[in-house]
């Protein structure tokens, strides 16, 4: 009897099912979940900036109508009040954005903690993760943190981007041409986490 090499398609399907069973991809779609929060934060920033500008302009206009200041100073004040309005608006946007995104980030951290467990999970996909090109994400750090059980301490948006890219690669039949990569991932699930 000849031993057949494992079917690449079956390994891919098995890995994809395992991945989708471990990670809730809708819950880990950080950009989609945080978009409404960012939009509301922008509105908050505009409201605060507008309020500050209207208050400053109102004081300058009242002073001009009462002839406490002349037209040239009134025109200068009209432009000068844009600076504090912009600073306050930007600060209000950042504060509101952080406050609105905090529950989303905590929910993602809770899901990652549950999915990773004590032995880690993401590091097991290391052969494929190293093939991905992820902007501004240190794949080596993600893998190391997963092996050490500290993945939850990484930025949630980086983890989500890596997981989304990993899922896309597993689901796409054309990106993985080497059966060795799939077999290496499968082998990582049979061996315990290594010390980093």
Quick one: pLDDT at residue 42? Answer: 95
Quick one: pLDDT at residue 121? Answer: 85
Token look-up 């948006």 returns: 157
Q: pLDDT tens-digit profile of 136-174?
A: 888 888 888 888 888 888 888 888 988 998 888 888 865
**Phi and psi at residue 113, in whole multiples of 5°?**
-60, -45
Token look-up 């899901």 returns: 111
Quick one: pLDDT at residue 38? Answer: 92
Report the share of the chain in percent with pLDDT over 70. 89
- Give residue 8's pLDDT band: very low, low, confident or very high (50, 70, 90): low
Exposed / middle / buried, residue 195 (Cβ in 10 Å: 0-12, 13-18, 19+): exposed
pTM, two decimal places: 0.76
Distance CA 76, CA 26 (A): 51
Q: Of the candidates 115, 190, 99, which has an alpha carbon nearest to the alpha carbon of residue 159?
A: 115
The structure tokens listed for 49 are 């900036």
Quick one: pLDDT at residue 196? Answer: 42
Contact between 126 and 181 (Cβ < 8 Å)? no
Quick one: pLDDT at residue 190? Answer: 78
Quick one: pLDDT at residue 35? Answer: 92
| 125 vs 39, higher pLDDT | 39
Nearby residues of 139 by Cβ (< 8 Å), 6 or more positions away: 129, 130, 132, 162
Q: Residue 63 half-sphere exposure, CB side, CA atoms within 13 Å?
A: 16
Does residue 177 carry a pLDDT above 80? no
Q: pLDDT tens-digit profile of 102-130?
A: 999 999 999 998 888 877 888 888 888 88
**How does the average pLDDT of the chain come out, rounded?**
85
Distance CA 70, CA 64 (A): 6
Does residue 4 carry a pLDDT above 60? no
- Give residue 12's pLDDT band: very low, low, confident or very high (50, 70, 90): confident
Please state the rounded mean pLDDT for residues 60-71: 89
The CA-based dihedral angle spanning residues 156, 189, 166, 16, taken in that order and rounded to the nearest 10 degrees: -120
């Amino acid at each position: 009897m000849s031993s057949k090499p494992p079917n690449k398609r079956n390994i891919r399907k098995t890995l994809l099912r395992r991945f989708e069973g471990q990670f809730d991809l809708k819950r880990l779609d950080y950009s989609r979940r945080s978009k409404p929060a960012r939009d509301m934060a922008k509105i908050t920033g505009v409201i605060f900036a507008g309020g500050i500008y209207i208050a400053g302009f109102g004081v300058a206009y009242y002073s001009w109508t009462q002839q406490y200041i002349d037209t040239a100073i009134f025109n200068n004040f009209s432009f000068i009040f844009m600076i504090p309005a912009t600073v306050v608006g930007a600060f209000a946007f950042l504060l509101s954005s952080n406050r609105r995104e905090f529950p989303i980030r905590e929910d993602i951290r809770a899901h990652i903690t549950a999915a990773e467990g004590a032995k880690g999970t993401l590091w097991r996909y290391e052969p494929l993760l190293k093939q991905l090109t992820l902007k501004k994400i240190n794949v080596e750090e993600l893998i190391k943190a997963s092996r050490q059980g500290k993945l939850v301490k990484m930025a949630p948006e980086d983890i989500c981007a890596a997981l989304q890219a990993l899922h896309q690669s597993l689901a796409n039949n054309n990106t993985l041409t080497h059966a060795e990569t799939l077999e290496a991932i499968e082998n990582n699930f049979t061996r315990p986490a290594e010390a980093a």
